[in-house]
């Protein structure tokens, strides 16, 4: 058993909830890649701020946001890679 299984499940659950909550904002994959990367960086900063506050729910929420933006960034790059032929 992976010692991080519980942590991954918690982050994934929060990420899925945040994705549903923010679905009205449009598809993350449609955001300009440079803008999307900037949003990811902003979320990492927010995660750092949450860690400074030592508020576990806020940390998990921001980790979910970071995960979602990371998925968006990587999804775009995989799509571009596959279209290169």
Per-residue pLDDT reduced to its tens digit, 53-85:
989 999 999 999 999 999 999 999 999 899 987
If you average pLDDT over every residue of the chain, what do you get? 93
Q: Residue 19, exposed/middle/buried by CB under 10 A (0-12, 13-18, 19+)?
A: middle
Buried b (16+ CB within 10 A) or exposed e, 26-48: eebeebeeeebbebbeebbebbe
Predicted structure pTM score: 0.88
Q: To the nearest whole percent, how much of the chain has pLDDT over 70?
A: 98
DSSP class of 13: H
Distance between CA atoms of residues 36 and 15, nearest Å: 16
Per-residue pLDDT reduced to its tens digit, 32-49:
999 999 999 999 999 999
**1: pLDDT strictly greater than 70:** no
pLDDT for 26 equals 83
């Amino acid at each position: 058993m992976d010692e991080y299984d519980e942590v991954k499940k918690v982050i994934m659950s929060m990420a899925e909830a945040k994705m549903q909550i923010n679905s009205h904002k449009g598809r993350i994959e449609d955001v300009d890649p440079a803008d999307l990367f900037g949003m990811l960086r902003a979320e990492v900063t927010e995660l750092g701020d949450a860690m400074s506050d030592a508020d576990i729910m806020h940390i998990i929420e921001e980790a979910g946001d970071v995960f979602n933006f990371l998925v968006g960034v990587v999804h775009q790059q995989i799509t571009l890679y596959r279209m290169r032929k």
